[in-house]
Amino acid sequence: MNTFKTERFRDKQLGFAMYLIAEAIMFATLFATYFIYTPTAINPIPEEVFEARTVIISSVFLLTSSATIHYGEKAVEKGNHKGIWIGLVTTFLLSVGFIGMEAHEFHIYYKEGFTLTENLFLSSFYILVGLHASHVLFGMGWMLVLAYQKNRIPFMNYAQKQNIFSYYWHFVDVVWIFIITLVYGPYLFY
Amino acid sequence: MTFYLFDRSFYIASDVLLAYITVILSGAALFYLITKANKWPTIKKYVTTTHHRKIGVLYLLSATLFFIRAGIEALIIRIQLAVPENDWWVFQGDKFNEAFTTHGTIMIFFVAMPLLIGLMNVAVPLQIGARDMAFPYMNAVSFWLFLAGAILVNMSFFMTASPNAGWTAYAPLSVSTYTPEAGNDYYVFGLQVSGIGTILAAINMIVTIVRHRAPGMKLTRMPLFPWSTLITSFLILIAFPVLTIALYILMFDRMFGTQFFTGEAGSPIYWQHLFWIFGHPEVYIIILPAFGIFSDVISTFSKKRVFGYTSMVIALAIIGLLGFMVWVHHMFTVGLGPLVNTFFAITTMLIAVPTGIKIFNWLFTMRKGLIRFTTPMLFSLGFIPTFVVGGVTGVMLSVAAADMQYHDSYFVVAHFHYTMIGGTVLGAFAGIYYWFPKMFGIKLKDTLGKWHFWLFVIGFHITFFPMHLAGLNGMPRRVYTYLPKDDVFIYNFVSTIGAFLMGLGTLAFIWNIYQSFKKPDYTGNDPWDGRTLEWSVPSPAPEHPFQPMPLVKTIDPLWEAKRNRGGKLPEAESARSAPIDVTSWQPIGLAGMMMVFSLAFIYHQTWLQIIAGIGVLSFFVIRNLTDEHVRVTREEENE
Ligand code: HEM
Ligand SMILES: [Cu+2]
Domains contained in chain B, CATH given: 1-38 (no CATH), 39-604 (1.20.210.10)
Q: Give the atom of ligand 1 at the shortest distance from the alpha carbon of B348.
A: 5
Contact present, B241 and A19 (Cβ < 8 Å): no
- Confidence (pLDDT) at A190: 63
- Give me the residue from B211, B237, B620 closest to A10, CB to CB: B211
Query: Which pLDDT band, with edges at 50, 70 and 90, does A2 fall under?
Result: very low
Q: Do strands B521-522 and B442-443 pair parallel, antiparallel, or not at all (unpaired)?
A: antiparallel
| Cross-chain Cβ contact A123/B576 below 8 Å | no
Q: Is the CB of B223 under 6 A from ligand 1?
A: no
Nearest listed ligand to the Cα of residue B345 = 1
Query: Which pLDDT band, with edges at 50, 70 and 90, does B638 fall under?
Result: confident
**pLDDT exceeds cutoff 80 at B115:** yes
Residue B223 preceded by cis peptide, ω within 30: no
**Rounded to an integer, what distance in angstroms lies between the CA atom of residue B482 and that of residue B96?**
13
**Rounded to an integer, what distance in angstroms lies between the CA atom of residue A129 and that of residue A179?**
8
**Rounded to an integer, what distance in angstroms lies between the CA atom of residue A117 and that of residue B176?**
15
**Rounded to an integer, what distance in angstroms lies between the CA atom of residue B118 and that of residue B146?**
11
Please give the DSSP secondary-structure letter assigned to residue B182: T
Plot region of B486 (φ>0 → left; ψ -120 to 50 → alpha; else → beta)? alpha
**Rounded to an integer, what distance in angstroms lies between the CA atom of residue B175 and that of residue B268?**
10
- Atom 41 of ligand 1, nearest CA residue: B168
A contacts of B258 (beta carbons < 8 Å): 116-117, 120, 123, 127
For residue B232, give the nearest of B161, B285, B188 by alpha carbon.
B285
- Give me the residue from B207, B238, B257 closest to A15, CB to CB: B207
- Confidence (pLDDT) at A43: 81
Q: For residue A134, which amino acid is it?
A: S
- Confidence (pLDDT) at B632: 87
For residue B620, give the nearest of A166, A165, A127 by alpha carbon.
A165
CA distance B249 to chain A (A): 8
Alpha helices by DSSP H, B481-583: 489-518, 557-564
Question: What value does the mean pLDDT take over residues B178-207?
Answer: 96
Q: Is the CB of B598 under 6 A from ligand 1?
A: no
- Atom 16 of ligand 1, nearest CA residue: B407
- Give me the residue from A23, A25, A154 closest to B634, CB to CB: A154
| Cross-chain Cβ contact A8/B629 below 8 Å | yes
B contacts of A160 (beta carbons < 8 Å): 629
- Atom 23 of ligand 1, nearest CA residue: B394
Give Cα separations from B605 to B145, B597, B613 (angstroms).
22, 10, 12
Q: Looking at the predicted complex, does its ipTM rise above 0.90?
A: yes
Q: Which residues of A138-171 are buried (b: 16+ CB within 10 A; e: fewer)?
A: ebeebbebbeebbeebbebbbbbbbbbbbbbbbb
CA distance A26 to chain B (A): 5
Of chain A residues 89-118, which have a CB less than 8 A from chain B?
A: 116-117
Query: Which pLDDT band, with edges at 50, 70 and 90, does B424 fall under?
Result: very high
Question: Which of B280, B330, B418 gets mutated to test ligand 1 (max ligand atoms within 8 A of its CB)?
Answer: B330
Ligand 2 is an ion; residues with CB less than 5 A from it: B 280
What residues form DSSP beta bridges with B442? Answer: B522
Q: How far is the CA of B327 from the centre of ligand 2 (A)?
A: 6
Residue of A nearest to B261 (CA): A120
pLDDT digits (tens, 9 = 90+) for A156-173: 999 999 999 999 999 999
- Confidence (pLDDT) at B1: 62
Query: Which pLDDT band, with edges at 50, 70 and 90, does B98 fall under?
Result: very high
Q: How far is the CA of B423 from the centre of ligand 1 (A)?
A: 12
| A vs B: CB pairs below 8 A | 119
| Cross-chain Cβ contact A29/B274 below 8 Å | yes
Report CA torsion sign: B22, B28, B29, B31: positive
Q: For residue B494, which amino acid is it?
A: V
**pLDDT exceeds cutoff 90 at B260:** yes
A177 touches B at CB < 8 Å: no
Contact present, A21 and B237 (Cβ < 8 Å): yes
SS (H, E, C) A16-83: HHHHHHHHHHHHHHHHHHHHHHCCCCCCCCHHHHCCHHHHHHHHHHHHHHHHHHHHHHHHHHHCCHHH
Nearest listed ligand to the Cα of residue B290 = 1
- Atom 36 of ligand 1, nearest CA residue: B416
Please give the DSSP secondary-structure letter assigned to residue B87: -
A17 touches B at CB < 8 Å: no
Q: Give the atom of ligand 1 at the shortest distance from the alpha carbon of B108.
A: 35
Q: How crowded is residue B353: how many other Cβ atoms within 10 Å of its Cβ?
A: 12
Q: Give the atom of ligand 1 at the shortest distance from the alpha carbon of B420.
A: 30
Q: Which residues of B137-158 are buried (b: 16+ CB within 10 A; e: fewer)?
A: bbbbbbbbbbbbbbbbbbebbe
- Confidence (pLDDT) at A18: 97
Query: Phi and psi at residue B498, in whole multiples of 5°?
Result: -60, -40
**Rounded to an integer, what distance in angstroms lies between the CA atom of residue A149 and that of residue A143?**
10
**pLDDT exceeds cutoff 50 at A4:** no
**pLDDT exceeds cutoff 50 at B120:** yes
Query: How far separated are the first and last CA of chain B, in Å rounded?
Result: 69
**Rounded to an integer, what distance in angstroms lies between the CA atom of residue B49 and that of residue A74?**
38
- Helix (H) / strand (E) element for B545: namely none
Question: Which of B416, B472, B475 gets mutated to test ligand 1 (max ligand atoms within 8 A of its CB)?
Answer: B416
Q: Is the CB of B394 under 6 A from ligand 1?
A: yes
Q: Is B10 helix (H, G, I), strand (E, B) or coil?
A: strand
Q: Check: pTM over 0.80? Answer yes or no.
A: yes
Question: What value does the mean pLDDT take over residues B186-203?
Answer: 97
A157 touches B at CB < 8 Å: yes
Q: Which residues of B443-459 are buried (b: 16+ CB within 10 A; e: fewer)?
A: bbbeebbbbbbebbbeb
**Rounded to an integer, what distance in angstroms lies between the CA atom of residue B257 and that of residue B547?**
59
**Rounded to an integer, what distance in angstroms lies between the CA atom of residue B288 and that of residue B235?**
10
CA distance B232 to chain A (A): 14
- Map out the domains of chain A with their CATH numbers: 48-188 (1.20.120.80)
Q: Is the CB of B424 under 6 A from ligand 1?
A: yes
For residue A17, give the nearest of A173, A132, A168 by alpha carbon.
A168
- Atom 22 of ligand 1, nearest CA residue: B394
| Cross-chain Cβ contact B211/A22 below 8 Å | no
Give Cα separations from B615 to A37, A136, B259, B610, B619 (angstroms).
35, 19, 31, 8, 7
For residue B323, give the nearest of B238, B382, B446, B405 by alpha carbon.
B238
**pLDDT exceeds cutoff 50 at A3:** no
What residues form DSSP beta bridges with B8? Answer: B5
- Confidence (pLDDT) at B8: 72
Least confident of A18-27, A33-42, B189-198, B229-238: A33-42
pLDDT digits (tens, 9 = 90+) for B447-477: 999 999 999 999 999 999 999 999 999 999 9
A166 touches B at CB < 8 Å: no
What average pLDDT does chain A have?
91
